[in-house]
Amino acid sequence: MNIIIVLVPLIGTIFGVMYYYNSKEFIELLLAQPIKRSSIFLGQYLGVAGSLTLSLVLGLGIPFLLYGLFKSDAIFDFALLLVTGAFLTMIFTALSFNIALSNENKIKGFGYAVLLWLFLAVIYDGLFLMSLIIFKEYPLDTFSLAATMFNPIDLSRTLILLKLDISALLGYTGAIFKQFFGTNQGLIISMLMLLLWTVLPIWRLVFISKKKDF
Amino acid sequence: MIQIENLHKKFGKNEVLKGVDLNIDEGGIFAVLGPNGSGKTTLIKSTLGMVIPNKGSIAVSGMSIKKNWRYRKDINYLPQIANFPGNLKVRELIRMIKDLRQMHSEEEKLIQLFQLEPFLGKKLSTLSGGTKQKVNLVLAFMFDCPLLVLDEPTTGLDPASLISLKELIQKEKENGKTILITSHIMQFVAEVAEEIIYLLEGRIYFKGSIEELKTKTNQADLEHAIAAIATIPTYV
């Protein structure tokens, strides 16, 4: 599970950047044709994100189906894993397209994209833990909840972790998180947050693509 | 056909176009000339909507091109550098563009004219520069559009194809089309073009027929006239 949550964004990021730079000529060819700019870029984005999502869902889904998923009770948790995985793919492909669009230099674009993944997957957690240690005298419930919300990887991880009923391992914080994420309201808010994480980069993608020179 | 008013474009600190006013009437062949970096391609790309101008307005067939994409149905564009997606085959590329335009096309004749049949099943990344340019020409000429924009159409072509290209351009002109050409080969320009638009340092320096240019610069041939034009006070 943890591997999926960390690897899926990495694959989305790398594929997004690579695909954009590889299809630059194609984009230039299409731009001279009577097609709307937003259609070109949204089409490219959906092409990459869609196929990555599909391969994730099929690649994880088929083995589990064969394993006899429908007979077990874990189907809801598993569906949640797939949904968050799909969201993560969409989010990170959109973010990497944004980076690639804003950087003409391929190496720079690649660097920024990998850095973004590294930041959200590893460094963010480190900073988060550090801040919890430094401010341990204060009540941190709301802060940690909010900080989790602002990182799609953390958000997905927490969401799944708490669905798997291992929150008892996390002690008091786990209880608070359980109280929030375990309820339907918490689930809806987190899903909305993931949706926002998807929509905002896509919106920016369309916005900068309209202004860019080729 | 094309109305350009007070067009400005900057790339970073580099001011490429500094207030271009240009009116291109329907019908005829217009050559956009100018030294390297004078803004010819930028001007053409702005008309196509690939480059977004900082200031000024462009209208094609009476329609403003801002936030509009339908006007590109009337334009056939030949890009300067034939950058095609390398993993496509020539046939696939032609079919794809046809599918996008949804118009009647005459690619068969053009493929024959440029002798491209043996290359149809080959990938674009394996083609030579000249063959790529021929594919480029097929894509640009296969639709029947009132406006043709050709950015350096002669690069990499062998003499036989060059003659075919000239015939093709003449034929399109007889059909009453507007053709915009940029080229550095003055002999080619002198043969095909009727009117010259000379760009220098982001402004239009001269606009008129070849004869006008020759009399104004007191030069017998076009090449010398173009070379002399920059040293003489403005004519616009």
- Write the DSSP assignment of A92-132 as a string of letters: HHHHHHHHHHH-S-HHHHHHHHHHHHHIIIIIHHHHHHHHH
Q: Does B143 touch chain A (CB under 8 A)?
A: no
pLDDT value of position A191: 87
Which of the residue ranges A127-131, A180-184, A185-189, B203-207 would you say has the lowest mean pLDDT? A180-184
pLDDT value of position B73: 85
B72 vs A23, A34, A211: nearest CB: A34
User: In this complex, do A31 and B86 lie within 8 Å of one another by their Cβ atoms?
Assistant: no
pLDDT tens figures, A39-93:
999 999 999 999 999 999 999 888 888 887 667 777 777 888 888 899 999 999 9
Domains delineated in chain B: 2-81+146-229 (3.40.50.300)
Count of structural domains within chain A: 1
Contacts of residue B118, Cβ cutoff 8 Å, sequence gap at least 6: none
First to last CA, chain B: 20
**Per-residue pLDDT averaged across B211-226, rounded?**
82
pLDDT value of position A89: 93
Cβ contacts (< 8 Å) between A30 and chain B: which residues? 100
Q: How far is CA A28 from CA A83, A129, B102, B125, in A?
A: 34, 45, 19, 16
Cβ contacts (< 8 Å) between A24 and chain B: which residues? 83
Query: Can you give the residue range of the structural domain that contains A150?
Result: 2-211
pLDDT value of position A18: 92
Q: Among residues B26, B15, B22, which one has the least CA distance to residue B236?
A: B22
Numbered residues of chain A with Cβ closer than 8 Å to any chain B Cβ:
23-26, 28-37, 210-214
Query: What share of chain B in percent tops pLDDT 90?
Result: 0
Which residue in chain A has the smallest CA separation from B54? A211
User: In this complex, do B50 and A32 lie within 8 Å of one another by their Cβ atoms?
Assistant: yes
Torsion (CA) B81, B70, A204, A105 in degrees, nearest 10: 0
Return mean pLDDT, chain B.
85
**Per-residue pLDDT averaged across B151-169, rounded?**
88
Among B41, B43, B72, B149, the strongest candidate for a mutation testing the A interface, having the largest count of A CBs within 10 A, is B72
B75-78: strand order across its sheet:
B75-78, B147-151, B178-182, B28-33, B195-200, B203-209
Give the Cα separation of B1 and A205 in Å (integer): 33
Return mean pLDDT, chain A.
85
pLDDT value of position B84: 83
**Per-residue pLDDT averaged across B22-33, rounded?**
87
Q: Among residues A122, A40, A52, A128, which one has the least CA distance to residue A87?
A: A52
User: In this complex, do A211 and B83 lie within 8 Å of one another by their Cβ atoms?
Assistant: no
Residue A34 φ/ψ, nearest 5 degrees: -75, 75
Tokens matching residue A44: 């490219």
User: In this complex, do B69 and A36 lie within 8 Å of one another by their Cβ atoms?
Assistant: yes
A211 vs B52, B71, B84: nearest CB: B52
Element spanning A22, H or E: helix A2-22
**Per-residue pLDDT averaged across A10-31, rounded?**
89
Which residue in chain B has the smallest CA separation from A29? B84
Does residue A180 surpass a pLDDT of 90?
no
Cβ contacts (< 8 Å) between B79 and chain A: which residues? 28-29, 32
Interface A-B: count of C-beta contacts within 8 A: 52
Cβ contacts (< 8 Å) between A29 and chain B: which residues? 79, 83-85, 97
B97 vs A23, A33, A211: nearest CB: A33
Which residue in chain B has the smallest CA separation from A35? B69
The interaxial angle of helices A184-211 and A75-102, nearest 10 deg, is: 20
pLDDT tens figures, B75-91:
888 888 777 888 888 89
| Confidence label for B225 from pLDDT (cuts 50, 70 and 90) | confident
**Per-residue pLDDT averaged across B61-70, rounded?**
82
User: In this complex, do A29 and B84 lie within 8 Å of one another by their Cβ atoms?
Assistant: yes
